[in-house]
Amino acid sequence: MFVAVVVSTVMLALFTINTRLKTDLLNAIVANEMSELVEDYPTQGADAIPHSANLIGYVVTPAQRNQLPEPLRGLGPNVKGVTLTYNNHTYRVGTHALGDNKQVYLAYDITAIESRESLFKLIAIVAAILVLILAVPLGAWIARISLKPINALAEHVANLHPGERTARLAEQFEHYEVGVIAHAFDRFMSRLDEFVERERSFTADASHELRTPLAVIQGAVEVLQQDPKLVESGPLTRIDRASHQMAELIEALLFLARDEQAEADGAAPSCRADQVVSEVVDAYRPLMARKTVEVSALDPCEIGAPRIALVIAFGNLLRNALRHGGDEIRVTLADRRLTVADNGDGMTTEELQHAFERGYRSGPGAGLGLGLYLVKRVADRYDWRIRLASRPEEGTRIELQLA
């Protein structure tokens, strides 16, 4: 398309310039001959009137105009130049008024010039067409050759994985212009490898170092709860509840930090969503206090995700509803849609816009701002669609479409 525009523009410019130059040149020739005729006619009379193969002149009175070729009869005085065709010839014609009520007509034969110009235009048009015909496959071939190393580099980059040590790209593209880009990618991958290694080390260390003290705390709490004097202890109950919440949060964060798409035996992960929902609701009953949690529908449903993923997602939704919702909470699992709705104070438009952002908190009793953020992370990983609907004083409804 670009080549066609360029060629068309060049051809149009050439034709315009050629026409302008030809017109100016012919007008100059006619004007020069007319000047000589006007100067010589008073002294030489009819001998001054040219009559050659290329130039024909006429000096007539108004009564003698019928002797002129028909195309010349309608021309007025002092015509600088006009192209007329008659008697199978093309002429550039000029006129000039003389004394004694006479008028001079001068016709310069440009038939040969017009023929050569037509041939030039034809050759130019044919050449332009040939250029266009050749430009498309030639341009495609050149582009394919030029883009080959770029496509190869793009393919290598697309196959790179942050966790895999691979051969450096610069070695494969050393003799190409894209070698600079390959070197830049190598430097970036080196930094990324270091980052991934640090993240893996942290995840492994955190998995051990954080779980161990929590296990000790929970074990100690269980021992203390066996003492009849401490069974109803408020501080001990809060410690037990906080330790379990911290264990769940650590498990969620470690799960999201790992990129595990299969079970240990290589099988695709799966779980029964209805069973997980029922288990999570039972686990959260100590937190319900005076609130009512109604499971209105619980259809059998198997999903392609590990159990921990749904525990994290649904657990955070239910915890949010218990913490910020009203007295009535409804849970449904039907048509692969998991819904948690409450009759609480609802959310404002601004709160809806930031609800899934990490660290966003609002309202009394706000937590760490991680609940809905973790739900969104899990949903994105397993292509679950999440919908949040809420209005002030009308409660909140969150729906997970399980893929």
Structural domain contains residue 384:
yes
195 shares its domain with 222: no
**pLDDT for position 162:** 57
Structural domain contains residue 201:
yes
Last residue of a domain, one of 258, 291, 326: 258
Query: Higher model confidence: residue 260 or residue 310?
Result: 310
Report the CATH number at residue 332: 3.30.565.10
**pLDDT for position 101:** 84
Last residue of a domain, one of 81, 116, 151: 116
393 shares its domain with 341: yes
340 shares its domain with 245: no
Query: Higher model confidence: residue 249 or residue 222?
Result: 222
**pLDDT for position 230:** 74
Structural domain contains residue 159:
no
pLDDT per residue as tens digits for the range 55-101: 999 988 888 888 889 888 888 888 888 999 888 899 999 999 887 78
- The backbone torsions φ and ψ at residue 299, rounded to the nearest 5 degrees and listed phi first, read -75, 140
Q: Which two tokens stand for residue 130?
A: 């040939």
Confidence of residue 386 (pLDDT cuts 50, 70, 90): very high
In the chain, what percentage of residues exceed pLDDT 90? 13
Are 283 and 384 in contact by the 8 Å Cβ rule? The answer is no
Beta bridge pairs of residue 333: 298, 338
**pLDDT for position 338:** 93
pLDDT at 397 over 90: yes
58 shares its domain with 35: yes
Structural domain contains residue 243:
yes
265 shares its domain with 397: yes
300 shares its domain with 349: yes
**pLDDT for position 385:** 93
Structural domain contains residue 284:
yes
380 shares its domain with 293: yes
297 shares its domain with 249: no
289 shares its domain with 199: no
Flag the least confident range among 74-78, 235-239, 360-364, 382-386.
Answer: 360-364
Give CA–CA dist 218/220, Å, rounded.
5
241 shares its domain with 347: no
pLDDT per residue as tens digits for the range 215-235: 788 788 887 878 777 767 777
pLDDT per residue as tens digits for the range 260-278: 554 555 557 788 999 989 9
Last residue of a domain, one of 116, 150, 181: 116
Strand order in the sheet with 55-60: 55-60, 102-109, 89-98, 82-86
How many structural domains does the chain have? 4
Closest CA to 273 of 339, 333, 335: 333
Residue 351: give the domain boundaries.
Answer: 261-401
Structural domain contains residue 161:
no
**pLDDT for position 322:** 87
SS (H, E, C) the chain: CHHHHHHHHHHHHHHHHHHHHHHHHHHHHHHHHHHHHHHHHHHHHHHHCCECCCEEEEEECHHHHHHCCHHHCCCCCCCCCEEEEECCEEEEEEEEEECCCEEEEEEEECHHHHHHHHHHHHHHHHHHHHHHHHHHHHHHHHHHHHHHHHHHHHHHHHCCCCCCCCCCHHHHCCCCCCHHHHHHHHHHHHHHHHHHHHHHHHHHHHHHHCHHHHHHHHHHHHHHHCCHHHCCCHHHHHHHHHHHHHHHHHHHHHHHHCCCCCCCCCCCCCEEHHHHHHHHHHHCHHHCCCCEEEEEEECCCEECCCHHHHHHHHHHHHHHHHHHCCCEEEEEEECCEEEEEECCCCCCHHHHHHCCCCCCCCCCCCCCCCHHHHHHHHHHHCCCEEEEEEECCCEEEEEEECC
Give CA–CA dist 188/194, Å, rounded.
10
CB atoms within 10 A of CB 186: 15
Structural domain contains residue 191:
yes
The angle formed by the CA atoms of residues 156, 162 and 165, to the nearest 5 degrees, is 75
Structural domain contains residue 226:
yes
**pLDDT for position 337:** 92
Are 60 and 49 in contact by the 8 Å Cβ rule? The answer is no
Give CA–CA dist 215/221, Å, rounded.
10
**pLDDT for position 235:** 79
CA atoms within 13 A on the CB side of 315: 22
**pLDDT for position 161:** 66
Average pLDDT over residues 99-104: 84
Residue labelled with tokens 């050659």: 52
* CA distances (Å), origin 209, targets 204, 220, 248, 260, 327: 9, 17, 15, 21, 38
Report the CATH number at residue 52: 3.30.450
273 shares its domain with 322: yes
Average pLDDT over residues 335-349: 90
**pLDDT for position 399:** 94
Average pLDDT over residues 162-174: 66
Average pLDDT over residues 144-171: 72
335 shares its domain with 244: no
Per the prediction, the chain carries an average pLDDT of 82
